[in-house]
Structure 1
Amino acid sequence: MNLVLFDLDNTLLAGDSDFEWAQFLIRKGVLDRELQEAKNVRFYEQYKAGTLDIFEFLDFQLAPLARHPRAQLDAWHREFVQTAIRPMITAKARTLVRQHLDGGALVAVVTATNSFVTGPIVLGELGIPHLVATIPAQEGGAFTGKPRGMPAFRAGKIERVDNWLESLGLHWGSFARTWFYSDSHNDLPLMSRVSDPVAVDPDDTLRTHAEQAGWPVISLR
């Protein structure tokens, strides 16, 4: 059996669901545009530059989940998927996912974006059965605005994947080959862990690294 891992934002999606979720809430008037839009853009630029403080960002990104009832959040999210996410899913991305699923691989998305935002996208829109993501903490069925455990960011992705595999009774040695597809240099720790790293529409830093290392570089756009 093979293991196939995908990053989500700017890899399987032609855009960033984390950034777009905040922008969606701004457009709905849930977040104040004047106060929040500049923060959202700043965090996104820090992510691309490799300088993001993930815990500072999660304080910003998870706070709205703690302020609204789950039913309202779910309703907003359904609209978000329909209007913002479906246009980001390309035919090439769907085909690649289907090829690996049909080939019998264990397939998962591994993403720093929290599971509330990404779960319906990964399971409902892409048909991928497993999600390894940053987990929003809950108390009494309500979100607290804080993450639970290690965020799935940079080296944290390896820890989260290790724990997920262990929960299935598996480990890295269970697989003949392991893939990870990503666009971002932030994912170099996990890309260096697998047997078959693939750079997908990569940022400049990852492209340079991939070319020097002889990794495949592909486009799903």
Structure 2
Amino acid sequence: MTLAIFDLDNTLLGGDSDHAWNDFLVERGIVDRDHFRRENDRFHRAYDAGTLDIHEYLAFALEPLTRHSMAELDELHRRFMKERIDPIILPHGEALLEKHRAHGDLILIITATNRFVTGPIAQRLGVEHLLAVEPEMEDDRYTGRVTGTPSFREGKIVRLEQWLKTHDVSLEGAFFYSDSQNDLPLLERVDHPVAVDPDPVLADVARQRNWQIITLRDRDERLDSL
């Protein structure tokens, strides 16, 4: 069985779910508007530049989850899905997922965004297997801390290798679709790295190494190359 691995933000989605969630909290008045938006944008720029300190970012991003019960958070997330995620789900991304399903491939989403934000998105996309940052919980509330290795940069490889052993799956013949230079460590590990609407650094690397480059945002893009 061939493994088809997908990044989520700016790959299957026409935007960043983590950044969108933080903006959603600002718009709802749940966090301090000026400070939180400023920091959110700062971390997003660092991610785009390939210089993000993932532990500093997660301390910032997970703290608001500690202020609310799971019932309150679930209700917020339902509104978030409707207002911010449904409009940026890419039809070509869904079509590519379906192509891999038709081939009998095993689909996995791996993302540096936390599971609270991304779990319902993976469900909406019909993807059972998700590797995401795992926020720690105690007494049914988030603590603001992380369990295990964050699935970011080389951490994606660590988490994937653990998952492969647990599921008795091989990387032989695997695909990995991503938009970001931050995913170069994992792109270099698979047989079929695919740059999806790549950032400038990833685009340059993909061209130098003759990796496939595709867009999932162009209505005329064909997906018959699998």
TM-score, reference length from structure 2 = 0.94
Provide the residue aligned with 1:137 in structure 2: 136
Aligned residue for 1:107, secondary structure, equals strand
Provide the residue aligned with 2:37 in structure 1: 37
d(CA) in 1 for partners of 2:166 and 2:79? 33
Which one-letter code corresponds to 2:51 in the other structure? Answer: T
Which one-letter code corresponds to 2:182 in the other structure? Answer: N
d(CA) in 2 for partners of 1:129 and 1:90? 18
Q: Is 1:186 aligned to 2:175, yes or no?
A: no
Which one-letter code corresponds to 1:194 in the other structure? Answer: V
Question: Could you report, residue by residue, the CA deviation over 1:152-172 in whole angstroms, capped at 9, with x for unpaired residues?
Answer: 000000111111111113343
Residue ranges of structure 1 left out of the alignment (5+ in a row): none
Residue ranges of structure 2 left out of the alignment (5+ in a row): 218-226
TM-score, reference length from structure 1 = 0.96
Provide the residue aligned with 1:209 in structure 2: 205
Which one-letter code corresponds to 1:104 in the other structure? Answer: G
Q: Point out the structure with the larger helix share.
A: 1
Provide the residue aligned with 2:116 in structure 1: 116
d(CA) in 2 for partners of 1:22 and 1:59? 13
d(CA) in 1 for partners of 2:6 and 2:90? 15
Question: Could you report, residue by residue, the CA deviation over 1:40-84 in whole angstroms, capped at 9, with x for unpaired residues?
Answer: 000000000011000000001000111111100000001001110
Q: For 1:66-105, what aligned pairs fall within 5 Å after superposition?
A: 66-105=66-105
Provide the residue aligned with 1:5 in structure 2: 5
Q: For 1:120-199, what aligned pairs fall within 5 Å after superposition?
A: 120-123=120-123, 125-172=124-171, 175=172, 177-199=173-195
Q: Once superposed, which parts of structure 1, at least 4 consecutive aligned residues long, lie more than 6 Å away?
A: none
Q: How many residues align?
A: 217
d(CA) in 2 for partners of 1:76 and 1:87? 17
How much has 1:117 moved relative to structure 2?
A: 0.2
Provide the residue aligned with 1:63 in structure 2: 63
d(CA) in 1 for partners of 2:162 and 2:81? 28
Aligned residue for 1:109, secondary structure, equals strand
Between the aligned residues of both structures, percent identity stands at 49
d(CA) in 2 for partners of 1:65 and 1:88? 23
RMSD across aligned C-alpha pairs, in angstroms?
A: 0.8
Aligned residue for 2:9, secondary structure, equals helix
Is this contact kept in 2: 1:200–1:220, CA < 8 A? yes
Question: Could you report, residue by residue, the CA deviation over 1:75-101 in whole angstroms, capped at 9, with x for unpaired residues?
Answer: 000100111001111211110011101
Is this contact kept in 2: 1:178–1:194, CA < 8 A? yes
Shifted more, 162-171 versus 24-33: the winner is: 162-171
